[in-house]
Structure 1
């Protein structure tokens, strides 16, 4: 076998190298190959646990986000919506509220007010999603019942004052009771903010607060 070798002076010379030397080297490589990486059950278990862990975090994030209250979908300082393309929340679409409202009584309910945060409009039940008002049906104390009645009257007066719209600002369209979740606005401002300022409502953050303290 002929090989080219470079001399110290930069020249090139041709030499012969026995073929048996090269064949012997190839044979040694075949007889003693590099060992394949050993399979470790501990490494496999570690990788599997990481996949399960991060996959579980993703599932929990989706479930938790679906239950976020309205206050997590707005910037509290200015009550402005955040980027819906990031959160996946539903962009607002104003719906006008028209007609005359009364206090709900009896089985037939078209346009009427149940309490400070629940009303019927065109025979559909709505829940104001950014606030929670005192209970009227099952109050825990006399103070809660009294404040609940005041909140009911305040909402009734507001709905009859005109210039109202409502917007869906949550991923869920209805709650577990079948009520449509909407924020009611008057001149671009949430009517819930007015009830809160008057001490007749709390900002809804996923749980009821005590009205009897």
Structure 2
């Protein structure tokens, strides 16, 4: 009887140790997650433009936040997630509150220089995607899809990462082309205007001649 009771007590103690150990590991993992926490606003999609044309630009502001309990250094990188044709031609400008951080092609951007962000602090970055004016009709109907990644690194080499998506579309290829041939239309308008002008002058001269003739009679 005593042996069975001892077995039950031992089993209960073992179960209690396992539960407490599991909770301790879980708490430790949650604490580590809190140590390094980088977030961005907006959190899912930064660019979603469906009908850009040559000469258009799309400015956006993204807020980088340190919501953890440790200071960190973060970097921003960019990854192409779609076709390369339009992606390789789009331009990108990145600014903080003081200066220009990058200015060049979207495809040539590698990463920002590491930036420090203290706990409970945030900073805004302004990103502008530009559709170059010289791009022709061969870019009509194309899309560029990409991801912008923010990676935070703590002093103990702990890493945390978050990303937002971007999509730039150049419209439907079935719609009007970027560079329509408007020369014929302009010529027709000029010709029509000239005809109206000449007709008006002729009517004015005719009325004046008729008035003069009536006075003589």
TM-score when scaled to structure 2?
Answer: 0.29
Report 1 or 2 for greater relative contact order, CA contacts < 8 Å, sequence distance ≥ 6.
2
CA radius of gyration, larger in: 1
TM-score when scaled to structure 1?
Answer: 0.29
Higher-strand-fraction structure: 2
